[in-house]
Structure formats: C-alpha cells, structure tokens
Chain A
C-alpha cells in the first residue's frame, strides 16, 4: 500500500486532492459519526440492548424499514419510467417536467409533509374521494409510504437518466434486426445496461427514506406501535435529554442499514 501511494500518478495533484478528500470527509462525516458512537459508549451493554430492543422501538424499525423499502421499490419502477420518458421522447414542456423531478430535493420537507397531508387527509382534495371507498391514507402506514415515495423520487430518475442517455441505440436496433421482439429487447438489452444505475438509485432512495423525519411526522399520525417512525423516537429521546438513548437507536439504525446495504452489494457484485 505504501509503495502504491508513493508511485507518482500520471495525473498531477494526487496528494493534495486525496488529503483534501480525507479532511473533508473526516470533518463532515467521520467526526459526527464518531461522536455518535462515543455517546453510545457511555452506556453499558445491557442499557444499549434495552434501548434498541424495546418493543416500541422494534415496531418503529419494522415500519421505517418496511415503508422505506416499499417506497424505494415504487420509485424504482416509476422513476425508471420517468427517466425513460425524459430521455427518449421529445415533447413540449419537457424541460418543465425535468425540473419538476428535482422539486422534492428543493422543497423543505415540512412543507412537503403539510402539502401531502392537506391533499390526502379524509377532508383533503384527494382524500375525500378515497374516503368514500373506505381508503384512508393520511395518519396510516400508507401515508408514511406516500411521503417517503415523494422524497425518494429524484434519486432513481437522476441516476438512471445519464446512463440511459449514453445507451447505444444501435444495440437496440441490432436486437430488433436479429428478430427479438420489444419485450425481449427491453429485458435482454436495455435492462442489463441500466441495472447498476437502477440499483444505485434504489439504494439512495431507500437510505434517504430511512432517515426522513420532516415530511413524515405530518402525515403519519405518529401513533406508537402503529405509525411511529424510528427517527421520531430518536427525537423523543433527545427531547428528554436522553442523548445516549437517542444515539444508541441512531447507531443501531445505521448498523442495520450498513449491514443491509453491504449484504445487498455483495450479492450484486458476486
């Protein structure tokens, strides 16, 4: 390793940019996470386990992971379709649609949450019609999924879009000439090329959804055991000045997420 570092690179500036990268990541990511782990070190193993395995907390993991997974899957499918439309067709208003995709990034999440609940509450514009059929969205677990789908949308679109743009049309034409029907072309030619981008977008949307707080708390109803997400429980602990307990749940959530992503990545690159 040491030898590899000393070898001069063809591109100049390796030392300074690497140094800067490490400093930057350290300041913004490593130090805060180290602080998080330090807080949990104040607890005994028993306290830590009690904090992260409490029934109410476990119920919130199930909701947070489940809803994030469903939301990311929805985004995987519909994000791919949106990216496809934006790359492959020309139509008026395309640039507006393209800009709309970024809106969930730009809008304050609290505003998004209030807007969604206004829409989907049983008195809301959309909710009142769904209510006729007995479908309730706001203040149920479906509401959580709706909010998480909203904030995760741009990830899949923005990761798939550039890959799709670079995709050779010739390959599709060749596939067609060689007698493949459209479905086979999509399945055997386009999807394999898009797969890495799709999976990256999916993972980003999932991770983002897991940590989301601002928009969800307005639409979920926050009932313990039913519609309470894990980030809310972390806030609740901090609000009682129980920093260690809050850090424990946060660290455990991070652990689950990293493990999950690693397991998934190892399968992906096998």
Chain B
C-alpha cells in the first residue's frame, strides 16, 4: 500500500481541476421540476426526450432533477424556498399559492401557456373490482346504501378535491339544485369507510386492503392501477359526466431569474406541447391537450361529457373557499354525517 503523499495528491487535484475546466464541451444545465406523485413515470421519459431535443438544438445537456410528493406539500416546499425552476402540480390552486403567498410568479401565470397552462389533462373515473359485482355504472350508484366508496380526504389531498368536485358537479347537473347536489355528495361521503390523507394511501386501501366497492380516481391513476397493480382484477367505469382535471405547469419566475435558467425552463415547458411530448403524455395515461394527438388515443380515452371547474364552480379560488376551507361545505358534510 502506498503511503499518502501530499505532493502527489496536490498534482492529481490540479490535473483533475484542469480536466474539469477544460471540458466545456459537456456543458450541462440543471433545472428542478417540482411535481406531484403520479407524474413520476411520465417525467422520467419526458426529461430524456427534452434532453435529446435541447442537445440537438442548443448543443447542451439538460439535467432535470425531479421532486415528487403530494401537490399541496410540494407547493409549500417551493414557497418555503425549494429551488424549483418549474412546477407541474395537480391543481391551479396550489400553483396560485406561489403567487398569493410568496409572489414567486405573476398573478396571470395561467394565461402564459396554451390550454390554461395544462399541457395534459385527465378526468375523474370510478375503479371497481373485476366483473363489477355491485353493478356500479355512474356517480349515483356511489350514493346507494350498499356501496362502500374509497376516496382520499379533500382537505389533505389536492387530487381528491377534483373527486369531490366531480361528484358535486354530477349532482348539480342531475338533480338541478345546489341543495340536491349537497345531499347527493353527503350520501357519497357517508359511504366512505376509510378516509386516507393522500391518493397513494387510498389506492393502497382499495387495492391491497381490498376495502370498498368503488374507488374514485384520476383516470391516469386508474389506468396505472389496472396495468400495474392487478391486471384483470379491476375495471374502469367511466361516468356519464365528469370534471376536466387540468394539472397546470409554470416556470417559477423568481427562481429562474436568480439562477439564469429562464430560457431552458421556458423551453422545457413549451416542449410539453409538441407532438412528441403529447404522445408521451398519452402513453402515460394523461389526455393530450392537442386534439389531433388525442384522436390517436381515442380507443384508450372514451368520450366523457366534461365540465370544467371554471364553468361550474367559478374557478379554484371560489371552489376552495366555498367547499374546502375550514367551515366550508365539506366540513358541514362531515359534521352532519357524524351527528
């Protein structure tokens, strides 16, 4: 064994440093994409595609660091200083918080990219056990007394707020009044035996614990459950009407300007709207926002009678304040169920 020789060590260090400085050919930019849980697989593939694209056009490598977690906690992390160049979250309310709470992005952030800044969309569907033993066809079956429903708590899970709003929107359309929609939504939540704090936990309850007859899920997650967790054990039931879930993306202006990464971050998000990326989204069970690419996946994504959160609820801010904040409609529902 060699004795440690400071002189050699010094020489090696200098050589290493020289190599590091002399090889700008492999210049590399690093950006951070803060996203929510189920986009993991999509962005892994997308990041490789974008890296290739950026190398071809700019001759530069892009290393995208991914961060995944619950949408709300991810937004909070960015507010509290996580160095995100772009955020790709589950709902506009969480992204707007970056403006409202920390002024990291401008107020009109959602108008900066096409399709409400949602390059891919999804919807809320029902996952049932193979053969559909409880014969669940639509939202109103979830209000039946003999059906157990699994859905996460909308107070803690951003994704689950879409579930709640989809059910409410159906009740409103079907029964015609706010009061009836309230009673309908209350009946569904009275059928919930386990209220998990997050979507992943709820999936676990339904799939591993085998609790519940129907699982209210994002379409892309329902597909994942069917494909990965138990082929032939579950069926997707597409309800007659559902909400158009728009998970939005934006660059975090304050961070990209400080780090000088605005150009690449902007390109990273714009590339999401190209045909190549749209196909990747479709492959990972998100509905492409480009209708032409969407048509290529027509057999995968059946037509749903969509309504948007803006149409029925007047946008996220109003929906959040009316339904989910403390003392809101959802709290009232819980209170009345537990009286």
Q: Which residues of chain A have a CB within 8 Å of any CB of chain B?
A: 51, 54-56, 114, 117-118, 121, 123, 138-139, 217-218, 221-226, 232, 235-242, 245
Residue contact B195 to A223, C-beta cutoff 8 Å: yes
B105 near A: Cβ within 8 Å? no
Q: Once bound together, how far apart are the Cα atoms of A118 and B205, in whole Å?
A: 10
With A121-B209, A239-B156 known as contacts, the answer to whether A55 contacts B195 (CB < 8 A) is no
With A217-B201, A245-B326 known as contacts, the answer to whether A222 contacts B334 (CB < 8 A) is no
Q: Once bound together, how far apart are the Cα atoms of A107 and B70, in whole Å?
A: 22
**Total residues of chain B contacting the partner, CB 8 A:** 33
Q: Once bound together, how far apart are the Cα atoms of A52 and B46, in whole Å?
A: 45
Shortest CB distance B264–A (Å): 29
B63 near A: Cβ within 8 Å? no
Shortest CB distance B42–A (Å): 24
Choose among A117, A218, A226 the residue that contacts B338 (Cβ–Cβ < 8 A).
Answer: A226
Residue contact A217 to B195, C-beta cutoff 8 Å: no
With A121-B211, A139-B194, A222-B194 known as contacts, the answer to whether A236 contacts B153 (CB < 8 A) is yes
Residues on B with beta carbons closer than 8 Å to the beta carbon of A55: 335
Which residue of chain B is the closest to A224 with respect to CB atoms?
Answer: B334
Residue contact A242 to B326, C-beta cutoff 8 Å: yes
Q: Once bound together, how far apart are the Cα atoms of A139 and B100, in whole Å?
A: 37
With A139-B194, A239-B73, A245-B326 known as contacts, the answer to whether A114 contacts B204 (CB < 8 A) is yes
Q: Once bound together, how far apart are the Cα atoms of A65 and B44, in whole Å?
A: 44
Which residue of chain A is the closest to B100 with respect to CB atoms?
Answer: A241
With A56-B331, A239-B155 known as contacts, the answer to whether A221 contacts B338 (CB < 8 A) is no
**16 other A-B residue contacts (CB within 8 Å) besides A217-B197, A223-B193:** A54-B326, A56-B334, A121-B211, A123-B210, A217-B201, A218-B201, A222-B194, A223-B194, A226-B338, A232-B156, A235-B197, A236-B153, A240-B320, A241-B97, A241-B101, A242-B325
With A114-B204, A226-B338, A241-B101 known as contacts, the answer to whether A221 contacts B209 (CB < 8 A) is no
Choose among B193, B196, B211 the residue that contacts A217 (Cβ–Cβ < 8 A).
Answer: B196
Residue contact B335 to A241, C-beta cutoff 8 Å: no
Residues on A with beta carbons closer than 8 Å to the beta carbon of B208: 118
Residues on B with beta carbons closer than 8 Å to the beta carbon of A242: 325-326
Residue contact B155 to A236, C-beta cutoff 8 Å: yes
Residue contact A222 to B335, C-beta cutoff 8 Å: no
Residue contact B156 to A224, C-beta cutoff 8 Å: no
Residue contact A232 to B101, C-beta cutoff 8 Å: no
Residue contact B194 to A56, C-beta cutoff 8 Å: no
Shortest CB distance A231–B (Å): 11
Residue contact A222 to B338, C-beta cutoff 8 Å: no
B76 near A: Cβ within 8 Å? yes
Shortest CB distance B189–A (Å): 10
Which residue of chain A is the closest to B97 with respect to CB atoms?
Answer: A241
Shortest CB distance B319–A (Å): 13
**8 A–B contacts from the bound complex (CB under 8 Å):** A221-B194, A222-B194, A222-B197, A239-B155, A239-B156, A241-B72, A241-B76, A241-B97
With A221-B193, A222-B196, A226-B338 known as contacts, the answer to whether A238 contacts B76 (CB < 8 A) is yes
Shortest CB distance A268–B (Å): 37
Shortest CB distance A30–B (Å): 20
Residue contact B195 to A222, C-beta cutoff 8 Å: yes
Q: Once bound together, how far apart are the Cα atoms of A238 and B195, in whole Å?
A: 18
Q: Once bound together, how far apart are the Cα atoms of A239 and B70, in whole Å?
A: 9
Residues on A with beta carbons closer than 8 Å to the beta carbon of B301: none
Residue contact B97 to A221, C-beta cutoff 8 Å: no
Residue contact B326 to A225, C-beta cutoff 8 Å: no
B324 near A: Cβ within 8 Å? yes
Q: Once bound together, how far apart are the Cα atoms of A248 and B75, in whole Å?
A: 21
Residues on A with beta carbons closer than 8 Å to the beta carbon of B155: 236, 239-240
Which residue of chain B is the closest to A241 with respect to CB atoms?
Answer: B97
Q: Once bound together, how far apart are the Cα atoms of A240 and B197, in whole Å?
A: 13
With A236-B156, A240-B326, A245-B326 known as contacts, the answer to whether A139 contacts B193 (CB < 8 A) is yes
Within 8 A of A (CB), among B191-215: 192-197, 201, 204, 208-211
Within 8 A of A (CB), among B268-285: none
Which residue of chain B is the closest to A213 with respect to CB atoms?
Answer: B197
Residues on B with beta carbons closer than 8 Å to the beta carbon of A222: 153, 194-197
Q: Once bound together, how far apart are the Cα atoms of A54 and B328, in whole Å?
A: 13
Q: Once bound together, how far apart are the Cα atoms of A218 and B196, in whole Å?
A: 8
Q: Once bound together, how far apart are the Cα atoms of A232 and B194, in whole Å?
A: 14
Top 8 nearest A-B pairs by Cβ distance? A225-B338, A239-B72, A221-B194, A236-B155, A224-B334, A222-B195, A236-B156, A121-B209
Within 8 A of A (CB), among B161-182: none
Residues on A with beta carbons closer than 8 Å to the beta carbon of B210: 123
Residues on A with beta carbons closer than 8 Å to the beta carbon of B334: 56, 224-225
Shortest CB distance B73–A (Å): 7
Shortest CB distance B161–A (Å): 10
Shortest CB distance A236–B (Å): 4
Residues on B with beta carbons closer than 8 Å to the beta carbon of A114: 204
Residue contact B197 to A56, C-beta cutoff 8 Å: no
Residues on B with beta carbons closer than 8 Å to the beta carbon of A238: 76
Shortest CB distance B81–A (Å): 14
Residues on B with beta carbons closer than 8 Å to the beta carbon of A236: 153, 155-156, 197
Shortest CB distance A227–B (Å): 9
